């Protein structure tokens, strides 16, 4: 091979490698990990350090992680992590509104997600869910005036139907898009007997993020609530991810509710999610 051809081949290889690296870095701007997944690790400091070590640049928080705003911001900065959002209970938002908003602004977070409704607090009628939706809409409007955004995270119980509509549909049709976004947990949607792709197509521009985790089969991973690392379970990510991209989803947030091996779950899910997203960034 001539020196000229060798140099040309080297330049082509460098360009290819640069292109691959650019795609990898590009999809990292869409990937985060929900810190609830790492809660079994001994300390908050270790949890955030582990997220950084696993290659994450973005995290979804759960409340204050036992720290004041200055401490949490320092831990995030130390590990080169930025928050995408934070899970905060609705009662906390309503009862401690100003300190909650101030705390989140101080750490650089502007998206607050209502993550869960206790069984005793869940509506059990069509009108009950409409009333709950109006409560969210009112809070979302208030947060927007303060430069924040409200979101809602589903489980399977919102897949129950009332007058022909799922509770989640009732929430979304009785709130304004600017006041409430959805963080769609694909695994819980599927467990509730609904299709994640249908939800994505039904609400373009409304779904801010997807909780990217997988369901295992019956009798599989029973000690992990039958959840699996993304790409190693039953969900059809080849259908879900393109539908999510078309719907305008901004974040794909890796989560597992009860991992036996935190490191294995987050690194496997991260690797598989990144590979899938790279298909759509070329």
Evaluate whether residue 3 is within a structural domain: no
Whether 16 is in a domain gets the answer no
What CATH number is associated with residue 61? 3.20.20.150
H/E stretch holding 11? helix 3-28
pLDDT at residue 161, as a whole number: 99
CA–CA distances in Å: residue 147 to residues 91, 111, 195:
20, 9, 33
Q: Is residue 110 part of a domain?
A: yes
As averages over each run of 10 residues, the pLDDT of the chain (282 residues) reads: 60 46 72 99 98 99 98 99 99 98 99 98 98 99 99 99 99 99 99 98 98 95 97 97 98 98 98 96 70
Q: Is residue 13 part of a domain?
A: no
Task: Return the pLDDT at 73.
Answer: 99
What is the reported pTM? 0.91
What one-character-per-residue DSSP string does 117-183 give? Answer: --GGG---SHHHHHHHHHHHHHHHHHHHHTT-EEEEE--SGGGSEETTEEHHHHHHHTS-TTT-EEE
Q: Is 8 contained in some domain?
A: no
Q: Cα dist. 200→58, 87, 194, 203, 244 in Å?
A: 23, 21, 11, 6, 6
pLDDT of residue 152: 99
pLDDT at 281: 79
Cβ-based neighbours of 163, under 8 Å, separated by 6 or more? 126
Which domain covers residue 131, as residue numbers? 30-278
Let me know: does 281 contact 26? Beta carbons within 8 Å.
yes
- pLDDT given at position 280: 86
Residue 53 maps to a domain: yes
Q: Which two tokens mark 23?
A: 């795609």
What pLDDT is attached to residue 133? Answer: 99
What is the distance between the alpha carbons of residues 100 and 103, in angstroms, rounded to a whole number?
Answer: 5
Asked if residue 137 is part of any domain, the answer here is yes
Instruction: Count the domains in the chain.
Output: 1
């Amino acid at each position: 091979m001539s020196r000229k051809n060798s140099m040309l081949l080297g330049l082509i290889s460098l360009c290819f490698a640069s292109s691959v690296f650019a795609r990898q870095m590009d999809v990292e701007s869409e990937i985060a990990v929900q810190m609830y997944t790492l809660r079994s690790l001994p300390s908050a400091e270790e949890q955030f350090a582990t997220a950084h070590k696993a290659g994450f640049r973005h995290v979804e928080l759960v409340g204050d992680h036992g720290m004041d705003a200055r401490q949490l911001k320092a831990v995030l900065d130390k590990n080169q992590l930025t928050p995408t959002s934070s899970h905060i209970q609705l009662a906390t938002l309503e009862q401690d509104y100003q300190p909650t908003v101030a705390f989140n602004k101080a750490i650089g977070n502007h998206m607050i997600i209502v993550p869960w409704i206790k069984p005793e607090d869940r509506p059990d009628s069509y009108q009950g869910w409409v009333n709950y939706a109006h409560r969210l809409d009112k809070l979302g409007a208030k947060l927007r005036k303060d430069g924040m955004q409200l979101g809602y995270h589903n489980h399977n119980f919102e897949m129950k139907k009332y007058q022909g509509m799922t509770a989640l549909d009732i929430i979304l049709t009785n709130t304004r898009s600017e006041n409430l976004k959805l963080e769609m947990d694909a695994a819980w949607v599927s467990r509730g007997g609904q299709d994640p792709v249908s939800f994505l197509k039904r609400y373009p521009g409304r779904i801010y993020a997807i909780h990217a985790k997988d369901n295992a089969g019956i009798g599989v991973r029973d000690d992990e609530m039958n959840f699996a690392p993304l790409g190693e379970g039953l969900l059809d990510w080849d259908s879900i991810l393109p539908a999510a991209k078309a719907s305008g989803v901004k974040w794909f947030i890796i989560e597992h509710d009860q991992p036996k091996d935190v490191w294995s779950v987050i690194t496997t899910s991260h690797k598989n999610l990144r590979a899938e997203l790279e298909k759509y960034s070329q």
